Amino acid sequence: MSPHYDYIIVGTGTAGCVLAARLSEDPHTRVLVLEAGGPDRAMEIRIPAAFSKLFKSAVDWNFCTEPETNANNRQLYWPRGKVLGGCSSINAMIYIRGNRLDYELWKSLGNDGWGYDEVLPYFLKSENQERGSSQYHAVGGPQWVSDLRYVNPLTRAFLAAAEELGLVRNGDFNGEHQDGAGLYQVTQRSGARCSAADGFLKPAVHRPNLTVIMHAHATRVLLEGTSATGVEFVLNGTKQAATAQREVILSGGAVNSPQLLMLSGIGPADELREGGIYASVDLPGVGKNLQDHPMVSVGCFCTKPVSMANAESAKNLMRYLLFKSGPLASNVAEAGIFARTRPGLEVPDLQLLFGPAYYVNHGFDKRKEHCFGFGPTLIAPESRGEITLKSADPMAAPAIRANYLACDSDLRVILEGVKLCRRIAATKAFADYCGGEVIPGPNVRSDSEIAAFIRSALQTLYHPVGTCKMGRDEMAVVDSELRVRGVDRLRVVDASIMPRITTGNTNAPTMMIAEKAADLIRAHS
């Protein structure tokens, strides 16, 4: 391994894969990518319906929050991808860009160049849209975006039920309008997962100027004064270091990027000193502004044997292996609704996911009966949490305080979502399928009972962002070009730079952030 590179990228999650591919397009640019996890060889990564089997496995950081005050003091499980492709290798593959006004808000917060019309070209640059090109879509990019090859009859009933309730059908959540009910498009190619590693990194990995080192756990950004010069990491139990001639780029995500900054002495000075870390650069916003999309599961018995309860049968496995079709090609959360729970909102505050399966407690809780389920999700949270260090040991997990439901308005949105689930299950469209409610159950009726259920069952929808936020205020960590304030030659490029979370799944916006960042970086080379 040459110790000298132009760029060192920490992390092969979605952003890291995009950056590695784009920056190494210049054959005169030497790029090193460090990944704490290993290769993405597990069959469960390839098979869409198997994603939850990757949770708490060797490809998962397996994080937990600190006890959540407003969720019955429970420590909530947070899966994060520790593997080539990061979370794009273990997620449910839903391709959602968010709302046009998300990016207008980013711009209004002092982030020039991040308005919707300015970021749309970067969404298009990544995309290889199965439906073909249009005003909002493009073909020829590295990231495949496809229609589901399998749609369960229960999902068709869900869409019919939404129409029965007066919700508009939306054939493209990434088009002109976001509101309504529709099928999700997914990051799949020919019925198999297409992660950021598949789309971006693997086609580039054979370039002689691109080096990817797996099982390399970054422990510190090396500084000379206030200039980043390289990265220290542990490989096979041995401490090593690599030098960056141009820039160090952190792409570890909303948990690992702020942790690495703080371990390097970049963060809230008082907190770092208390933890025994010398504060090289006092940046009070590092680790703050944590946002996520919390959800609960609402499940019903299904009176017909049409759910995904039998998805793993020998017949269905052969159908998938031979033809890449059938229930195993499903991403489980096949369809959804974007809605506004009260008048006057500029963007939806509720995303309601639907799956023809019993999906409770991240898929760990099992039932033999056929069931279907909803996932009412808060997508415009007002509550804010933080990431802090538990220890100066770089191998120790940081402290995650999501601070879910700290604002009463957040609880109210999910409560309205539970009620909407029940209205959908009671429609004529579900009359032939619904055999009664499993969770929260018929005894949970009043608002106070539903609220108590939410506090007892709340979980993450896997979208933490915001802990190295972009902006101009004193709590901003990076500027509008994603350069870390007060540190030369250091950027953060991942979902942590979002000043406010997008209204929907965060994988596609993270891809866009990295595409734009690659241009910003090359402009300074």
> 457, 473, 492: which is the final residue of a domain?
457
Q: Which of 206, 215, 463, 524 is catalytic?
A: 463
Give the integer Cα–Cα distance in Å for 479 and 469: 8
Is residue 400 a part of any domain in this protein?
no
| Whether residues 349 and 479 fall in one domain | no
Is residue 68 a part of any domain in this protein?
yes
| Whether residues 270 and 375 fall in one domain | no
Structure tokens at 189: 């190619």
Structure tokens at 435: 């055999």
pLDDT in tens, the chain (525 residues): 446 899 999 999 999 999 999 999 999 999 999 999 999 999 999 999 999 999 999 999 999 999 999 999 999 999 999 999 999 999 999 999 999 999 999 999 999 999 999 999 999 999 999 999 999 999 999 999 999 999 999 999 999 999 999 999 999 999 999 999 999 999 999 999 999 999 999 999 999 999 999 999 999 999 999 999 999 999 999 999 999 999 999 999 999 999 999 999 999 999 999 999 999 999 999 999 999 999 999 999 999 999 999 999 999 999 999 999 999 999 999 999 999 999 999 999 999 999 999 999 999 999 999 999 999 999 999 999 999 999 999 999 999 999 999 999 999 999 999 999 999 999 999 999 999 999 999 999 999 999 999 999 999 999 999 999 999 999 999 999 999 999 999 999 999 999 999 999 999 999 999 999 999 999 986
- Residue that has been written with the tokens 């996932």 in this structure: 375
Give the integer Cα–Cα distance in Å for 291 and 379: 10
Is residue 239 a part of any domain in this protein?
yes
The candidate with the shortest Cα–Cα distance to 18, out of 266, 355, 251, 254, is 251
Give the integer Cα–Cα distance in Å for 175 and 168: 14
The candidate with the shortest Cα–Cα distance to 372, out of 434, 460, 427, 326, is 434
| Whether residues 298 and 349 fall in one domain | yes
Is residue 160 a part of any domain in this protein?
yes
CA distance to 174, 249, 362, 385, per residue, from 55 (Å): 28, 27, 8, 23
Which CATH number fits the domain that encloses residue 332? 3.30.410.40
Structure tokens at 284: 């009070």
463 is catalytic: yes
Rounded to 10°, the helix 408-425/447-457 angle is 100
The candidate with the shortest Cα–Cα distance to 17, out of 94, 88, 82, is 88
Give the integer Cα–Cα distance in Å for 179 and 93: 20
Is residue 401 a part of any domain in this protein?
no
The candidate with the shortest Cα–Cα distance to 287, out of 404, 459, 402, is 402
| Whether residues 375 and 438 fall in one domain | yes
- Whether the CB-CB separation of 489 and 244 falls below 8 Å is answered with yes
For the chain, how long is the longest CA-to-CA vector? 69
| Whether residues 271 and 327 fall in one domain | no
Angle at 262 between CA 502 and CA 458, to 5 degrees: 40
- Whether the CB-CB separation of 340 and 409 falls below 8 Å is answered with no
| Whether residues 233 and 105 fall in one domain | yes
Residue 3: predicted pLDDT: 61
- Whether the CB-CB separation of 258 and 287 falls below 8 Å is answered with yes
Residue 4: predicted pLDDT: 80
SS3 453: helix
Q: Which residues contact 484 (CB under 8 A, 6 or more apart)?
A: 228, 261, 266, 281, 283, 468, 477, 478, 490, 491, 492
Neighbours of 368 (CB within 10 A): 7
Give the structural domain span for 103: 1-144+188-285+387-395+464-525
Question: Into how many domains does the chain fold?
Answer: 2
Residue 1: predicted pLDDT: 46
| Whether residues 179 and 200 fall in one domain | no
CA distance to 126, 196, 515, per residue, from 53 (Å): 28, 19, 30
What is the secondary structure of 96-120 as a DSSP string? ----HHHHHHHHHTT-TT-SHHHHH
| Whether residues 18 and 44 fall in one domain | yes
Which CATH number fits the domain that encloses residue 32? 3.50.50.60
| Whether residues 371 and 299 fall in one domain | yes
| Whether residues 26 and 72 fall in one domain | yes
CA distance to 163, 183, 240, 310, 512, per residue, from 428 (Å): 11, 20, 64, 25, 41
Q: Which residues contact 108 (CB under 8 A, 6 or more apart)?
A: none
* Beta strand segments in 236-349, E: 238-250, 266-267, 281-282, 294-295, 298-302, 335-339
| Whether residues 366 and 432 fall in one domain | yes
Is residue 53 a part of any domain in this protein?
yes
Angle at 24 between CA 21 and CA 27, to 5 degrees: 145
Q: Across-strand partners of 166? A: none
Residue 524: predicted pLDDT: 82
| Whether residues 261 and 357 fall in one domain | no
Rounded to 10°, the helix 408-425/153-164 angle is 110
